[in-house]
Amino acid sequence: MYDYIKGLLISKQTQSYRGSNAVVEANGVGYLLLVTPQTIQKLPDIDSNVKIFISLIHREDSMSLCGFLTKEERDIFNILQSVSGVGVKLSLLLLDEFPVSELINVVVKSDYKELSRAKGVGPKLAQKIILELKDKLINWSNVTPVPVDDVSENTNLSADCISEAQSVLLSLGYTINEAKAAIKAVVSSIKMPKDSEEVLRYALEFLAQQ
C-alpha cells in the first residue's frame, strides 16, 4: 500500500517503550516509524530531509509503520513476517543483528546456530525460520537488483545506477547471477566507475572474458 515516506526527520530514539523509532514529518503529518538501532545510527541529524521505505503492519488491535533505509531491508522484513511466531519485534531484531546479505546467506546455508545468536531466537525457532524461508530467500535474491552495500562499501554509486546497469544486462540475455557477478566485479575493482554507463561498459568487458 505504501512504499516510502520522504520528509523532515523530527526525532529519533534508540530507547523508548515503543523500541527504537523515528518520526518523519511529511505534508504536515508526523509519522512514527519503528526502526532498528542500526537504522537510528545511520540516520542523519534532526531536521534533515530523509527518504525511508516503509511497511504497514495491521493487526486486529493495532497498526504500526516500520521504517528501513533500503528496499532490500524492507522486503526481507516482509518475508520474515510470513513465518508464524516471528512478529515485528523479532524481525527488527534479526535485521539489527544481520545485514541483509548475511541474513540471506545464513538462512540459505541452513546455519541455525549462527541465526540463533540473535536475541530471542532459540535453536528451534532458528530451524523453523530456515525451513520456512530458505526457498523464498533463494528466489528473492535471484530476482532482486544488487543493493549497493552488497557490492562495495566504498562505492559512491546509487542503487538506481546499479539497477539500471543490471536491467540492461538482463535485457541483453545475461542471467541474474551473471549480471550480479559482473557488477560486483566491476564496482569492487580499481576502475571505480562513475555512472551506470561505465558500470555497463566494464561489466560487458568482464563478461566477455568469462
- Tens of pLDDT, residue by residue over 6-26, are 999 999 998 777 789 999 999
Phi, psi angle pair for 81, to nearest 5°: -65, -15
- Report the distance separating Cα 188 and Cα 29, nearest Å: 41
Q: How high is the pLDDT of residue 150?
A: 60
pLDDT per position as a tens digit, 75-91: 899 999 888 888 899 99
Q: Pairing between strand 29-34 and 63-68?
A: parallel
Name the range with the highest mean pLDDT among 33-42, 51-60, 117-126, 131-140: 33-42
Q: How high is the pLDDT of residue 2?
A: 82
* pTM (2 d.p.): 0.71
